[in-house]
Homo-oligomer: A and B are copies of this chain.
Amino acid sequence: MRIVVMSGGVGGARMARGFAGLANVELTVVVNVGDDADNHGLRISPDLDTVVYTLARIEGPHGWGRLDDTFALNEELSRFGVDNTFQLGDRDLALKLFRTDAMANGSTLTQVSAVVAKSFGISASVVPVTDDRLRTMIRVGDGWITFQEYFVTRRFEDEVLEVRYDGAETARPAPGVLEALGVADLVVIAPSNPPLSIWPMTTLPEIREALAVHPSVVAVSPLIGGKTVKGPADRVMASLGLPAGNAGVAEAYEGLIDRLVIDVADSDDATSLDGIEVVTTNTLIKEPEAAARLARELMSW
């Protein structure tokens, strides 16, 4: 079975891991790059790296970086007066350095991502949604800031007043993305933050169109008991004017999905969702076994 997972960071990576372990699954993970940034001149692709590290089962415990990494380089940067708030591990930095150098020498992010996935023994295709520049910008009380500023520096405490995706209207899907969507038996929008992790991708006109026409697109809600497991998705959705609960998730993906999967804790939401097929199950997928179970359920429907 050909599966495409549209993935943000941690939630998406966990959903992808659920499929990665299954027999007879050909998995493509299409990953958000709206969070990408340049720190210290290095190309940082947080969501791509979270997916790779999670599929390799070496993901860091806090949603970023690698397990058991060291931070000698990052600590030493402070000597030179460099802002090293964004914690970059030494081994994690090897990947960043490799990517930056390869791209400076003409490789695309797609090409680098394929090499990286293979280097970690990952059999799934891990593909950035685009090789073009795409940046999620967030308007807070004191103006527009980057995703990293909002998420890392300010620890997502600001109210999100508006979101835009610089470059999205003209960005082309990366090689292989439309092809994978075209032949997929099932497209899964992972339990990631809809406005901050998924919309950067679905704002690309060709991605939007491909999802709209695909007969089997299912979104897994990031809400459990009306709240997100991790991160600010619930608050962000509310402040952007979406309805509370899974009605908001359904509206966020209106016209794109054929089915919405919600958690058993939110089964009451099902009654208020018109015009969309709702399935209720256990959506907590922190553990690989739980993710694999959900993946099997998604494939069986």
A residues neighboring B (CB under 8 Å): 40-42, 69-70, 72-77, 79-82, 90-91, 93-95, 97-98, 100-101, 104, 115-116, 119-120
Contact = CB atoms under 8 A, between A and B. Distances in A.
Given A41-B101, A72-B72, A94 B77 contact: yes
Nearest to A94: B76
Contacts of A119: 79-81
A40 B101 contact: yes
A119 to B, nearest CB: 5
Nearest to A66: B76
A81 B74 CA distance: 24
29 contacts: A40-B98, A40-B101, A41-B97, A41-B104, A42-B97, A69-B72, A70-B70, A70-B72, A70-B90, A72-B90, A72-B94, A73-B73, A73-B93, A73-B94, A76-B90, A76-B91, A76-B94, A76-B95, A77-B97, A77-B98, A79-B94, A79-B119, A79-B120, A80-B94, A80-B115, A81-B119, A82-B98, A82-B101, A90-B90
Nearest to A93: B73
A53 to B, nearest CB: 12
Nearest to A97: B40
A50 B115 CA distance: 35
Contacts of A93: 73, 93
Contacts of A42: 97
Contacts of A69: 72
Given A80-B115, A80-B116, A116-B80, A72 B97 contact: no
Contacts of A76: 90-91, 94-95
B95 A80 contact: yes
